[in-house]
Chains A and B, each alone.
Chain A
Amino acid sequence: MRYLPKSPADREAMLKAIGARSIDDLFAPIPAEYRLNRDLKVPRQMAESEIVDWFRERSRETADGYVNFLGAGAYYHYRPVIIDSLISRGEFLTAYTPYQAEISQGTLQSIFEFQSMICELTGMEVANASVYDGSTAAAEGVMMASRLTGRHSVAIARSVHPEYREVLATYAHHQGMPLVTVPFADSGRLDLKQLEKSITPDTACVLLQSPNFFGTIEDVVAIADIAHKHGALLVVSIAEAVSLGIIEPPRQADIIAMEAQSFGVPLGFGGPYCGVIATREQYVRQMPGRLVGQTADRNGKRGFVLTLATREQHIRREKATSNICTNQALIALMANIFMTIYGKVGLRELAKQNLAKAAYAAQQFGKHGKVLFSGAPRFNEFVVQTGEDPDAINSRLLEHKIVGGLPLKKFYPELGNAALWCCTEMTTRTAIDTAAGLVAGGERSVKSAKEPAVIQEVVR
């Protein structure tokens, strides 16, 4: 087998040195009744070309070459090519966790830069070296707030990503943390009056997403006031990291739990992604996940180390801030390189393009469908309500190799025939016009099937 670097002669020599007659001797500790004496029923060994062919077929079967209007927590942005050139270097790709600092300065310094840039972008004072993803980051952020306040209940905005809320429910269930869901108002933003009513003396935190699941930017200042007034913390989840280029970060938050996938991480059918937790310095000892700190060696030379390890599982065991061991180092490195490439000016320009594309698309879709939540600013996603069922619309779009917006009936049935559309810098005007046209075609048919409505018709 070509990954195994031993010749039959090597094996023989080694067995002799050990004093074993055959390799079976070394497996004698396994009781005979359990030892397998048959082959595993897995596919036969393939040549490299066969492996590539097999996966190429699978790739073809997976929307290869389609235009995509989906967002909802996973965003299609351009990935500058040097990201893969650099992360593919064996010294990054095949390196271990940097516990031995002297021979891991490459990894450690990159993480330090990553932490620094996340702080710059989020307005927080400290950030960790990444956690699994945005959904678990939100759950960890909430549990962190609970530890900090000594309180147990959580008020969650319903405009937080539904799957994030599901994850939180799973985590909270066993920590004795009651969850209260707070509805959104007609603006698409969290209903402030309902929020006031939902907070109790046992509320550890308010969990908010901004831009929220609908793409709408929340009134973070007002929500922070309400939370803090009641002694609760504010945890803000950010699913679309590129928004930080043009949208003021939630500086009033106590904890930010974000997803950095938009920063140069492939969509990859849902993972691996890159969660990050950022917070104020005073809370750092309650923050889960690895942290890299700057220090000096014996000769005064600057270097970096994993630090504050006593929060972690390998030392605290059952009293750890979390059970997390692995982080997302390689993915965080992709995000690091992306943030470095775009930088201070590029991230803003990139975000502006996203804003412009979505604004144009909303306008186009709005001619025949109803764009909801237009009373508040939004970033690169918007919700369109149509007469036609979004599933039917999407079937039609698929024939043109377009993947349409996410139908929301499953998550927000009260919104009826609504779908969540996303446009990034990768979405072309042609694609938008085509999609809008195909939606329009359906709407015209739907409308003509009903009595003449009061809805304006655009005649072009």
Chain B
Amino acid sequence: MPYPTDFKYTKEHEWIKADGKNATIGITDHAQGSLGDIVFVDLPKPGADINAGKTFGSVESVKAVSDLYAPASGTVTEVNGELATSPEKINKDAHASWMIKLTLKDPNELNGLLSAADYEKFVAEEGG
């Protein structure tokens, strides 16, 4: 699956799409593949502050839990309610299933993240 070039990526397999100070965050196709069938997503509430590199929630499959790490810092403005009832949407299309929207504290934080090409290379090497 091609990784959208307008996203930035983290080594913890999250993606972030920014438009000025507004950003959207989700997990990558690789992540959903390694987790297996997703059964539950634990996300923060609107108004919560998240910090780059720190956990902001978790995603569960039947046999595993993975923490979600914030690609950037900011305040949560919206949470994808659909994921509460249909977490399987992430398995179907991880890049279209956004988890949270936030107002970025500092858009420059994204400069340190991976591009689509770099992320694809990283995943290929990790798979090894």
Contact = CB atoms under 8 A, between A and B. Distances in A.
A–B contact (CB under 8 angstroms): yes
A315 B40 contact: no
A285 interface: yes
- The 5 lowest CB-CB distance pairs between A and B, nearest first, are A310-B60, A310-B65, A316-B65, A315-B65, A315-B64
Interface in A301-336: 309-310, 315-316, 319
Interface in B72-121: none
Contacts of B62: 309-310
Interface residues of A, number: 6
B40 A309 contact: no
Nearest to B59: A310
Contacts of B61: 310
Which secondary structure dominates chain A's binding surface? helix
Contacts of B64: 310, 315
Contacts of B63: 309-310, 315
Interface in B34-84: 39-40, 60-65
A285 B40 contact: yes
A310 B65 CA distance: 6
A285 B87 CA distance: 15
Nearest to A314: B63
Interface in A409-455: none
Contacts of A310: 39-40, 60-65
Contacts of A316: 65
16 contacts: A285-B40, A309-B62, A309-B63, A310-B39, A310-B40, A310-B60, A310-B61, A310-B62, A310-B63, A310-B64, A310-B65, A315-B63, A315-B64, A315-B65, A316-B65, A319-B65
**Quick one: which of B39, B40, B61, B62 has the most chain A CB within 10 A?**
B62
Nearest to B67: A319
Contacts of B40: 285, 310
A319 B64 CA distance: 12
A316 B66 CA distance: 9
A310 B40 CA distance: 10
Contacts of A285: 40
Contacts of B39: 310
Among the interface residues A285, A309, A310, A319, which one has the most CB atoms of the partner chain B within 10 A? A310
Nearest to B62: A309
A187 B60 CA distance: 49
B69 to A, nearest CB: 15
B7 to A, nearest CB: 27
Nearest to B65: A310
Nearest to A319: B65
Interface string A192-214: 00000000000000000000000
B102 to A, nearest CB: 21
A316 B67 CA distance: 11
Interface string A166-206: 00000000000000000000000000000000000000000
A22 B62 CA distance: 46
B85 to A, nearest CB: 14
A285 B40 CA distance: 10
A206 B47 CA distance: 28
B91 to A, nearest CB: 16
A273 B61 CA distance: 33
A80 B60 CA distance: 43
B111 to A, nearest CB: 32
Most chain A CB atoms below 10 A, which of B40, B61, B65: B65
A198 B64 CA distance: 41
Contacts of A309: 62-63
A316 B65 CA distance: 7
A101 to B, nearest CB: 12
A309 B60 CA distance: 10
Interface string B15-41: 000000000000000000000000110
A285 B57 CA distance: 14
Contacts of A315: 63-65
A432 B122 CA distance: 79
B68 to A, nearest CB: 13
Given A309-B63, A310-B39, 14 more contacts: A285-B40, A309-B62, A310-B40, A310-B60, A310-B61, A310-B62, A310-B63, A310-B64, A310-B65, A315-B63, A315-B64, A315-B65, A316-B65, A319-B65
A444 to B, nearest CB: 67
Contacts of B65: 310, 315-316, 319
A28 to B, nearest CB: 38
A216 B102 CA distance: 53
Contacts of A319: 65
A350 B120 CA distance: 68
A30 B63 CA distance: 36
A315 B62 CA distance: 10
B43 to A, nearest CB: 13
